[in-house]
Amino acid sequence: MSNPYDEAHAQSLDDPDAFWGAAAEDIHWTRRWDKVLDDSNPPFYRWFAGGELNTCYNAVDRHVEAGRGDQAAVIYDSPVTGDTVRTMTYAELQDQVARFAGVLAAQGVAKGDRVVIYMPMVPETLVAMLGCARLGAVHSVVFGGFAANELAIRIDDAKPKAMVSATCGIEGGRVIEYLPLLNGAIEQASHKPDHCIILERPQAPGGLTSGRDLDWAEAMQGATPHDCVPLAATDPLYILYTSGTTGEPKGVVRDNGGHAVALKWSMKAI
């Protein structure tokens, strides 16, 4: 006897255009796709070719417009920082993300530019990721606290216009200062980012590099909120690097359209 997952899997194989086309109806598009799967140049397949959307709009703005602005979007519970609990509503998240996109734009970051995010697990990391998506910049999250030489390799590969980091992370109750690692990585890398936006945390205040670093709080305070930029479904959303354990790290690129559709379907069905 088949189960719903097996049935869905079989449908996706038998008629991928119909299956994923139906799944794509759950996503807000600014322009409908011309073709669900463009397989004219294998193995370089293109999902939802001709379609336009914005991942940040689908993750944040559409919920505010649907009347759920006061609903909790992010709940941050951090025992290692003294049982800190913060809740951010969709409306608050929209404001923060739009402002951060404005911060990036003011520093010359535009659609297609890369932004490396070297952050601890704090709400501002989500804001940075969504801010990049809102603007059309391609973000690459690198594990916070990664060694300087490993970060340098990823900087040289992604060639970011800007980087986003924090003064420290907290792992197992220990404060890990990020700025020495960030500075060491930029010194080692051949590519130099134009700017670094730094979240100053009370556990490790100060240490910003004059002329290169912007204080997160100060930049956000004076930022002009930025609207969502329509992007092609095939435009890249993010780069995620392999560990590099068996060789040079390899950057896996995910696009906006295919990622949004598959993620939304997975959240609902799995």
Q: Phi-psi bin for 32: left (phi > 0), alpha (psi -120 to 50), beta?
A: beta
Instruction: Tokens 């899997």: give the residue.
Output: 9
Angle, CA of 217, 134 and 198, to the nearest 5° = 25
Q: Phi-psi bin for 200: left (phi > 0), alpha (psi -120 to 50), beta?
A: beta
Task: Specify burial of residue 66 (Cβ count, 10 A radius: 0-12, 13-18, 19+).
Answer: exposed
- 8-state DSSP, 253: E
Are 117 and 211 spatial neighbours (Cβ–Cβ below 8 Å)? no
Per-residue pLDDT of the chain (270 residues; tens, 9 = 90+): 578 889 999 999 999 999 999 999 999 999 999 999 999 999 999 999 999 999 999 999 999 999 999 999 999 998 877 778 999 999 999 999 999 999 999 999 999 999 999 999 999 999 999 999 999 999 999 999 899 999 999 999 999 999 999 999 998 889 999 999 999 999 999 999 999 999 999 999 999 999 999 999 999 999 999 999 999 999 999 999 998 888 889 999 999 999 999 999 999 888
CATH of domain 55-229: 3.40.50.980
Report CA-CA distances (Å) from 191 to 34, 134, 186.
38, 25, 8
Confidence at residue 236, expressed as pLDDT on a 0 to 100 scale? 99
- 8-state DSSP, 80: G
Alpha-carbon span 105 to 226, nearest angstrom? 8
